[in-house]
């Protein structure tokens, strides 16, 4: 459980959408909550269990309240929240800034204060807030500002996770709205192209992420292996474990919230170990939440988008370095240390720790040039040490 104030670090948890979309119910959510604890996800830092779209009936009641679907949640949402809390986890829910959610359930448009109070009564700790069916005459920015104020005044700490897919120049106004994170891209799909495209679209956006307002690159597809009941998300049939590893490393390096999207009740051991990689999670959860910047690798003839290094300054003075190879064959990716501000004349060298293999690699002067297999990555934590 995070010891930092709400929203300082990227949120970690699980979300129902990627695998289950509309097919959710109380038993599923409870089963996932059980697994979060039994399989070590909570201990690794994943604390939110988030119910996405399709939890309510299609109409509000006579008092204008949202109504949980009695087929799916026969005991109501408070009972689900109580169960999640009894496991030491936090409870996340979903609504939308427009009149309807993307799947056609009621949205919170012009019900913001009422819904925020309702969520507080149910014990909600996290609200994902979508952007479908927004009336065109209304400025979206004001809707996020309104819901943020509603949540901050509802009597309960509720983390506000905005989701307008990067539209309307969201990065320019979202921090001031009070949201703790904001989706900056369209929806992820469980395929390698989608992962690459999202990552590349966020390079050079590192000024627009940081503590209390993180750039959310969408929920993880790690470990799904094509197992979504949505044709859109699962259309091309999943990724290899190597591609999932690179996906997870990118999201960690780039400081995205990490919302697990696979069915953790059946996840493989490889998936579980990747999602619980404590060295990668420590980079994602670094207390200063600085953005990762891209360095072009040598030799210069690689297209910058096919192979690159990301560097992220960490609170204790270390630097995280991620070497990413999007090419279809091996590449030697050479980082010259002057490109992170450390020429030989600075008098320091780097002691490198491999965050995938969990072992020290030794001390390097001037450059580090791992050979990275196709679609793979190398992530190291670099410590500055004086040259002898």
Task: Work out whether 332 is an interface residue with ligand GAL (CB under 6 A).
Answer: no
Q: How far is the CB of 143 from ligand GAL (least distance, A)?
A: 14
We find the least distance from the C-beta atom of residue 60 to ligand GAL, in angstroms, to be: 18
Interaction between residue 101 and ligand GAL (CB under 6 A): yes
Q: How far is the CB of 259 from ligand GAL (least distance, A)?
A: 9
From 31-39, 98-106, 151-159, 254-262, span contacting ligand GAL (CB under 6 A): 98-106
Taking CB under 6 A as the rule, does residue 47 contact ligand GAL?
no
Considering beta carbons, is residue 115 or 130 the nearer one to ligand GAL?
130
52, 53, 115, 130: the catalytic one is 130
305 in active site: no
Of the candidates 245, 238, 254, the residue with the CA atom closest to the CA atom of residue 292: 254
Q: Pick the stretch among 100-108, 252-260, 290-298, 344-352 that binds ligand GAL (CB under 6 A).
A: 100-108
Q: Using the rule CB under 6 A, which residue among 24, 93, 102, 253 binds ligand GAL?
A: 102
Q: Is 23 a catalytic site residue? A: no
Question: What residues between 270 and 329 interact with ligand GAL by CB under 6 A?
Answer: none
52 binds ligand GAL (CB under 6 A): yes
Query: Considering the complex, what minimum distance in angstroms separates the CB of residue 132 from ligand GAL?
Result: 6
Give the residue nearest to ligand GAL (CB): 102
Asked if residue 17 binds ligand GAL (CB under 6 A), the reply is: yes
* 187 binding ligand GAL? (CB under 6 A): yes
Q: How far is the CB of 344 from ligand GAL (least distance, A)?
A: 47
Out of 32, 143, 163, 233, point to the residue binding ligand GAL (CB under 6 A). 163
Active site residues: 130, 187
Q: Give me the residues that bind ligand GAL (CB under 6 A), please.
A: 17, 52-53, 101-103, 130, 132, 163, 165, 187
């Amino acid at each position: 459980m995070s010891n930092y104030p709400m929203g300082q670090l990227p949120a970690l948890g699980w979300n129902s959408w990627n695998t289950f979309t509309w097919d959710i119910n109380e038993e599923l959510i409870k089963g996932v909550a059980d697994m979060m604890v039994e399989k070590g996800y909570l201990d690794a830092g994943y604390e939110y269990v988030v119910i996405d779209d399709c939890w309510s009936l299609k109409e509000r009641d006579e008092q204008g309240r949202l109504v949980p679907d009695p087929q799916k949640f026969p005991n109501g949402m408070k009972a689900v929240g109580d169960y999640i809390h009894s496991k030491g986890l936090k409870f996340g829910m979903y609504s939308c800034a427009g009149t309807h959610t993307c799947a056609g359930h009621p949205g919170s448009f012009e019900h913001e204060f009422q819904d925020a109070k309702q969520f507080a009564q149910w014990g909600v700790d996290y609200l994902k807030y979508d952007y479908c069916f927004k009336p065109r005459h209304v400025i979206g920015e004001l809707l996020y500002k309104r819901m943020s104020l509603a949540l901050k005044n509802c009597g309960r700490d509720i983390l506000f996770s905005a989701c307008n897919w990067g539209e309307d120049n969201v990065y320019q106004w979202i921090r001031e709205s009070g949201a703790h994170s904001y989706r900056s891209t369209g929806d992820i799909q469980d395929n390698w192209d989608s992962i690459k495209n999202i990552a590349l679209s966020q390079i050079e956006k590192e000024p627009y992420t940081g503590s209390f307002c993180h750039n959310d690159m969408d929920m993880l597809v790690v470990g799904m292996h094509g197992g979504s009941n949505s044709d859109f998300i699962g259309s091309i049939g999943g990724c290899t474990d190597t591609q999932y590893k690179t996906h997870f490393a990118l999201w960690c390096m780039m400081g995205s919230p990490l919302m697990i999207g696979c069915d953790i009740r059946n996840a493989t051991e490889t998936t579980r170990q990747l999602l619980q990689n404590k060295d990668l999670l420590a980079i994602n959860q670094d207390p200063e939440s600085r953005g990762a910047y891209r360095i072009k690798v040598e030799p210069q003839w690689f297209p910058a988008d096919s192979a690159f290094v990301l560097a992220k300054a960490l609170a204790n003075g270390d630097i995280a370095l991620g070497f990413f190879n999007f090419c279809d064959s091996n590449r030697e990716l050479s980082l010259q240390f002057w490109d992170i501000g450390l020429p030989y004349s600075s008098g320091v060298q780097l002691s490198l720790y491999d965050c995938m293999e969990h072992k020290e690699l030794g001390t390097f002067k001037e450059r580090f040039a791992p050979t990275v297999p196709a679609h793979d990555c190398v992530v190291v934590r670099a410590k500055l040490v004086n040259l002898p």
